[in-house]
Amino acid sequence: MIKKTIACLTLVSTAFWASTVVSGTLDNVKSKGELTLGVSEGVPGFSAPDDKGVWTGFDVDMGRAVAAAVLGDGDKIKYVPLASKQKIVAVSSGQVDITSRTTTWTMKRDAKQGVDFTVPVFYDGQGFLTTKASGVTSAKQLDGASVCVTSGTTSELNVADFARANGISLETVVFEGKKEAFHAYTSNRCDAFTTDMSQIASLRTTVANPDDHLILPEIFSKEPLSPLVKHGDNQWKDLVTWVINGLIEAEEKGITQANVLEMKASSQDPTVQRMLGVSGDVGSFINLDNDWLVRAIQTVGNYGEIYNRHFGPDTKLKIPRGLNNIWTNGGLLYAMPIR
Amino acid sequence: MQRKFLNLFIQAGVAGAVAFVSWTLFQNTQANLEARNIASGFDFMSVESGLPINDSLLPYEPSDTYGYAFFIGVLNTLYVSLLGIFAATAIGVLIGCARVSSNWLVSRLAAVYVEILRNVPLLLTLFFTYVVVLASLPHPRASLNPFTGIFINNRGFYLPAPVPYAGFWCVTAAVLLSFLMIFIISRVSKRKRDETGKGLPTLMIGASLLVAVPSLTWILSAPVVDFEFAVLKGFNFRGGLVLRPEFSALMIGLVLYTAAFIAENVRSGIQSVNKGQVEAAKALGVKSSLTMRRIILPQALRVSIPATTNDYTSLVKNSSLAVAIGYPDMVSVGGTIIGQNDQAIEIIGLWMAVYLAINLVVSAIMNWLNAKVQVVER
């Protein structure tokens, strides 16, 4: 009896010690044969299952590009829906390989939460949605208003900071879920609703009369959204960073899903030749073969194609590109040179 | 002797193993957090929170610390739990008595109430009450105004806030004093009844004392209290006392749900008392109110109290669902803190500690009550 107990205890304690051994994420993904991708619980446009249950969206495509570059197949992904509170811990603990889920790059998260950010893929900012009937045209006129907001994000802090900075008082009503918060707004519990602009645009499409609602002009926070990986695994962080850089650079160079093979065969531009692996060996810099970017673009297209597919004029969301344009077109997207 | 020694040895071994495993887990977590450069510890509690809380019992500003913000959340949880326990008990006892009523309609209605509330998940009940509360109330600009100074709209119930003068504290003291006098009189009456078999008319004396002493003080020390009314300014009413729809919906949902369980405890308690005892009391000519007070209730409580303890602790834990309908309880505020600084382990630890503490106190009080009503073997 005692012998059995001791044997049992030894086994349990060795299991504890064994679990602390860590291996590289890249090797791990290759040996699993699939990428574990942390996504949202359903934010239309960014990551949400479509009517057939297939995950689609802007954030999903970033993950598909990485899966295509590493594994040669953008479909080899295991999706893990994460609540807002889990998105950091899931990646720092190794539960997911990448979190691609509308996450703001902040100093504390980067430095003190065991994660590393890769590339800002979407420059967002917090704003207000209000009813046309309220007659408000600027957020500074909201003194005394009730505002519905979602918990577990930086939105609450931003809205309180905005009120203090402008000397107005706001009654914030905090909800766990976005749907409940938005429902409270549409049932007139609140005079305004606040979250990031992209999501306001996405939620406004769901009301009966979108034209009765007005997005106020003030954008009162910087929300650079970026995929994130575990802190300390530099090999994996470099890989994810450069795949996304490649997608942005591809748009600048005019490489599309349709013409990528043609460009590879015939382009005389030395930059394009290096990117697509015709010359040089940039693939080996991130421990991949030379066709890494070709596969990624074949799977999801360049950055602009991904954006238009989920937010463009033909979609429900219709988010103008604004800051999220290539630098040569007046936006902030500036890919580091691939060489 | 040897057997005893061996037993002791095994027990020490198991205790040591548990301690070792917990220590290993703790050390391992610490080492891993450090290795990944993840902040830990409670230093952040003294940092300015910046987070807004719309419903707090004490004055609160976003410039206060995380620690104070969390404390406000804990107060809200305590407030909801305490009010909830009293209200659920009152309604539960009523429904429970109705359930065993000899009136067919009353007992059927009570049964329908119990079955519906008990068998629907609380979260759905809360969503339902919240949606109903919001949908049935008008916009602030079209507020209902049933009495002067009372406004009802979908931002809350606005009542005049009492502003106490010095006289208010005299009246409070008078109320306390009359309670003290009632207590003394009832002791005297009990002794008299034990000696002579006939007590004093305590109910009459007590009631008249409770009315006479405070009202006399009120007249003498006027003005006692003034009222501040809520006024519509811009988007919302300001001033006055406000019961927000989130709080009201949470209270309604929690109380109705828990009352269904308490009603069943009351019913089982009453039905556990042997029918023969009631019949015997009748045969001896004991008044029915006295039968209830002296024969049924003391025995029914023995059965009801342990089960009700469980329901009270469940109510405390269920109050965490407040976060779903926007009431800033401890879980809601803590969730925001996690969202802002991502130190989940510390906050979750605090949640567990606070719920544990509240429920241990609830259990201790209920166990004391239970011990009081148990049969004293002579």
Handedness of CA A78, A81, A84, A90 (dihedral sign): negative
Distance between CA atoms of residues A59 and A23, nearest Å: 26
Minimum mean pLDDT range among A295-304, B237-246, B311-320, B354-363: B237-246
Please determine, for residue B32, whether its predicted confidence score (pLDDT) is greater than 70: yes
Which one of B247, B336, B337, B347 makes the best mutation probe of the A interface by having the most chain A beta carbons within 10 Å? B336
* Single-letter residue type at A289: D
Please determine, for residue A315, whether its predicted confidence score (pLDDT) is greater than 50: yes
Smallest Cβ–Cβ distance between A85 and the set B246, B325, B335 belongs to: B335
Please determine, for residue A240, whether its predicted confidence score (pLDDT) is greater than 80: yes
Judged by a CB distance cut-off of 8 A, whether residue B156 touches chain A is no
What is the b/e burial string over B321-359, where b = at least 16 CB atoms within 10 angstroms of the residue's CB?
A: bbbbbbbbbbbbbbbbbbbbbbbbebbeebbeebbeebb
Cis peptide, bond prior to residue A49, ω within 30 of zero? no
What is the C-alpha radius of gyration for chain A, rounded to an integer number of angstroms?
A: 22
DSSP readout, B156-194? EEEEPEEEE-HHHHHHHHHHHHHHHHHHHHHHHHHHHHH
CATH number for the region B66-138+245-373 comes to 1.10.3720.10
Kindly report the pTM of this predicted structure. 0.75
Return the pLDDT at A325. Answer: 93
Please report residues of A whose CB lies closer than 8 A to that of B52. Answer: 156, 159-160, 163, 170, 172, 174
Residue A257, judged by CB atoms within 10 A of its CB (0-12, 13-18, 19+), counts as middle
Smallest Cβ–Cβ distance between A152 and the set B28, B33, B335 belongs to: B335
pLDDT digits (tens, 9 = 90+) for B291-301: 888 888 888 98
Return the pLDDT at A23. Answer: 66
Distance between CA atoms of residues A8 and B102, nearest Å: 61
Judged by a CB distance cut-off of 8 A, whether residue B234 touches chain A is yes
Rounded mean pLDDT, A258-270: 94
Q: Which residue of A has its CA nearest to B128?
A: A180
Please report residues of B whose CB lies closer than 8 A to that of A114. Answer: 33, 36-38
Q: Which residues pair with A99 in a beta bridge?
A: A38, A228
pLDDT interval class at A15 (50, 70, 90): very low
For chain A, list the domains and their CATH numbers: 24-123+225-329 (3.40.190.10), 126-221 (3.40.190.10)
Rounded mean pLDDT, A184-211: 87
pLDDT digits (tens, 9 = 90+) for B34-46: 877 777 788 888 8
Return the pLDDT at B341. Answer: 78
Element housing A162 (H / E)? helix A155-165
3-class DSSP state of B24 = helix
How near does any CA of chain A get to the CA of B138, in Å? 9
Cβ of B335 and A176 within 8 Å?
yes
Backbone φ/ψ region at A226: left (φ over 0), alpha (ψ -120 to 50), beta = beta
Cβ of A154 and B339 within 8 Å?
yes
Return the pLDDT at A17. Answer: 46
Distance between CA atoms of residues A68 and A66, nearest Å: 5
- Mean of pLDDT over chain B: 89
pLDDT interval class at B215 (50, 70, 90): confident
Rounded mean pLDDT, B324-349: 87
pLDDT digits (tens, 9 = 90+) for B140-163: 888 888 888 889 988 888 988 888
pLDDT interval class at B206 (50, 70, 90): confident
Please report residues of A whose CB lies closer than 8 A to that of B238. Answer: 144
Please determine, for residue A20, whether its predicted confidence score (pLDDT) is greater than 50: no
Q: What percent of chain B has pLDDT over 70?
A: 99
Residues 6 or more apart in contact with residue A246 via CB below 8 angstroms? A275, A292, A293, A296, A297, A335, A338
Rounded mean pLDDT, A30-55: 91
Distance between CA atoms of residues A230 and A44, nearest Å: 26
How many Cβ contacts (< 8 angstroms) between chains A and B?
Answer: 141
Q: What is the DSSP letter of A290?
A: T
Which one of A21, A155, A173, A220 makes the best mutation probe of the B interface by having the most chain B beta carbons within 10 Å? A173
Number of Cβ within a 10 Å radius of residue A150: 23
pLDDT interval class at A320 (50, 70, 90): confident
Cβ of A85 and B344 within 8 Å?
yes
pLDDT digits (tens, 9 = 90+) for A67-120: 999 999 999 999 999 987 788 889 998 999 999 998 989 888 898 888 999 999
Rounded mean pLDDT, B247-271: 94
Token pair of B114, please? 């119990």
How near does any CA of chain A get to the CA of B282, in Å? 57
Please determine, for residue A1, whether its predicted confidence score (pLDDT) is greater than 80: no
Quickly tell me which residue has 């779903």 as its tokens.
Answer: B324
Cβ of B154 and A188 within 8 Å?
yes
Return the pLDDT at A152. Answer: 64
Q: Where are the domains of chain B?
A: 66-138+245-373
Judged by a CB distance cut-off of 8 A, whether residue B13 touches chain A is yes
Q: Which of A221-225, A314-318, B308-312 has the highest mean pLDDT?
A: B308-312
Return the pLDDT at A285. Answer: 94
Distance between CA atoms of residues B371 and B375, nearest Å: 9
Residues 6 or more apart in contact with residue A76 via CB below 8 angstroms? A33, A34, A35, A67
- Mean of pLDDT over chain A: 88
Cβ of B339 and A20 within 8 Å?
no
Token pair of A23, please? 């291996």
pLDDT interval class at B114 (50, 70, 90): very high
Q: Which residue of A has its CA nearest to B31?
A: A20
